[in-house]
Amino acid sequence: MLTDQELVVQVINGDQQAFAELVERYQQAAYNLAYRMLGNPGEAEDAAQEAFLRAYQHIKRYDTSRPFKTWLLSITSNHCIDRIRKRRLTWLSIDEPLPPHPALTSSAPQPEASTIAEERNAAIQALLSDLEPDYRMAVVLRYWYDMSYVEIADIMETTESAIKSRLFRARRMLAEQLQTGSTLALSVAMESA
């Protein structure tokens, strides 16, 4: 199997099939990041697709000493944060109830298990959506991508100590939400704890 770097070289040489392989490898990583940041499956899909297109357009700027995934996630991250900021300028409401994610509703074998997963996911998204985009991004990269502070700082183009403080503040806010927030979040959180 070809490495990511080898595939990138092929993409630069005009092989779109090589790019298709990179999409296969990292579509879930990019999509999940967009979904966690934006909270809406449709918008997440569009944002993740846009991130891949930008990666394709700027493939020559990719520094092969970095993991491709890190580069892709940093493009996705910037794009999602941009979208959230633009969203605030429009009248689009962020307080709309978030629909359950289709991937969680369709593939679960048991209806009961699927409902619990759905509720838990809705609770997580509700908690995340109250965080500032920079804080939300740090939390998402820490929990879903298991990244170190240095790696998160690399993606968010900031310092390790900034990440340390963002994660601390985000966690304190999330904990406070648990005290003051919706009973749904609390009950689901208790259930999963």
Partner 1 sequence: MAHNSYEVMMSLALDALLTQEEEKELNQHLQSCSTCAQLWDDMTIINTMFTASAEVAPPANFSANVLARVESYESGRRWYPWIVGVLVAASVIAASLWALPALFLSLGLPDLLAEWPVIGEIIDAATRGYIAIQIGVSWVVELANTWFSYLLNEPASLAVILTALVLASTWIGLLEGIKATRNAAVSSQTA
CA-wise closest residue to 153 among 74, 80, 50, 55: 74
Is the CB of residue 160 less than 8 Å from the CB of residue 150? yes
The contact set with partner 1 (CB under 8 A) reads 16, 19-20, 23-24, 27-29, 31-32, 35, 41, 45, 48-49, 52-53, 56-57, 101-104, 107, 120-121, 123-124, 127, 139, 142-144, 149, 164-165, 167-168, 171-172, 174-176, 178-179, 188-190, 192-193
Residue 104 tokens, joined? 């969680």
Please state the closest distance from residue 191 (CB atom) to partner 1, in A: 9
Nearer to partner 1, 74 or 121 (CB): 121
Please state the closest distance from residue 179 (CB atom) to partner 1, in A: 7
Please state the closest distance from residue 91 (CB atom) to partner 1, in A: 27
Nearer to partner 1, 1 or 190 (CB): 190
Please state the closest distance from residue 139 (CB atom) to partner 1, in A: 7
Half-sphere exposure of 153 (CA within 13 A, CB side): 11
Is the CB of residue 126 less than 8 Å from the CB of residue 68? no
CA-wise closest residue to 114 among 100, 104, 123, 124: 104
Nearer to partner 1, 27 or 78 (CB): 27
Nearer to partner 1, 24 or 91 (CB): 24
Please state the closest distance from residue 23 (CB atom) to partner 1, in A: 5
How far apart are the C-alpha atoms of 30 and 34, rounded to whole Å?
6
Residue 105 tokens, joined? 């509703």
Nearer to partner 1, 19 or 132 (CB): 19
Length of the chain, in residues: 193
The secondary structure of residue 59, as a DSSP letter, is: G
Report helix, strand and coil shares of the chain as percent, to nearest 5: 75, 0, 25
Please state the closest distance from residue 116 (CB atom) to partner 1, in A: 11
Nearer to partner 1, 88 or 113 (CB): 113
